[in-house]
């Protein structure tokens, strides 16, 4: 299925919440976490009032019918709302998700390629957290040069890609 990429905008707020929820991956053999988790300040900080920070950067993959197939977004999060994969006060944290109907079509690779090309001109690196059972995601992150720098709450792998 053909798709195009475009920058996220402040008017995309509702879809950004959906991308964030999808990025909060749960193992297939476990129930999905409740949507109420999105209200937690440490989670909401990733997308709340998107575009209000100069460092907000994201892209959507738009399918042929105009729907959002997936997205990648990053935001600089510093204490006290530093997020789960805090590396340092200059490195934004990212989240990526492709909705189930659009997986295995190269969308995540396209999103990462475009995002990293732009992010590398703006930041010293980017970090992320990934569930230790999300093996396809971990493989993708390694493919793009991410390395683990810590183990976070729940055994999440905290990974970073440094550009400098």
- pLDDT tens for 70-93 read 999 999 998 888 888 999 999 999
Looking up tokens 């189930």 gives 100
Mean pLDDT, residues 87-111 taken together: 95
Dist CA 144 CA 84 (whole Å) = 20
pLDDT at 158 over 90: yes
CA dist., res. 145 & res. 61, Å (int): 22
> What backbone torsions phi and psi does residue 144 show, to the nearest 5 degrees?
-95, 10
Taking the alpha carbons at both ends of the chain, their separation in whole angstroms is 36
CATH number given to 3-123: 3.40.630.30
Enumerate the β-bridge partners of residue 3: 63
Checking if the pLDDT of 121 tops 70, the result is yes
Q: Residue 57: beta bridge partners?
A: 74
How confident is residue 153, by pLDDT bands cut at 50, 70 and 90? confident
Residue 1 has pLDDT above 70, yes or no: no
DSSP 8-state secondary structure symbol assigned to residue 129: E
Secondary structure of 50-103 as H, E, C letters: CCCCCCCEEEEEEECCCCEEEEEEEECCCCCCCCCCCCCCCCCEEEEEECHHHC
User: Region 30-51: what's the mean pLDDT?
Assistant: 93
């Amino acid at each position: 299925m053909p798709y195009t990429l475009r920058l996220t905008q402040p008017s995309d707020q509702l879809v950004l919440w959906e991308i964030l929820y999808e990025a909060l991956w749960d193992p297939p053999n476990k129930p999905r976490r409740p949507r109420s988790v999105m209200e937690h300040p440490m989670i909401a900080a990733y997308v709340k009032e998107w575009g209000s920070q100069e460092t907000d950067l994201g892209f959507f993959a738009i399918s042929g019918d105009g729907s959002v197939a997936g997205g990648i977004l990053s935001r600089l999060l510093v204490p006290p709302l530093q997020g789960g994969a805090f590396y340092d006060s200059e490195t934004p944290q990212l989240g990526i998700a492709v909705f189930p109907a659009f997986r295995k079509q190269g969308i995540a690779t396209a999103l990462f390629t475009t995002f990293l090309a732009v992010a590398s001109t703006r930041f010293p690196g980017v970090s992320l957290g990934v569930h230790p059972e999300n093996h396809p995601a971990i493989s993708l992150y390694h493919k793009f040069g991410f390395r683990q720098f810590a183990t976070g709450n729940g055994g999440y792998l905290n990974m970073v890609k440094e550009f400098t």
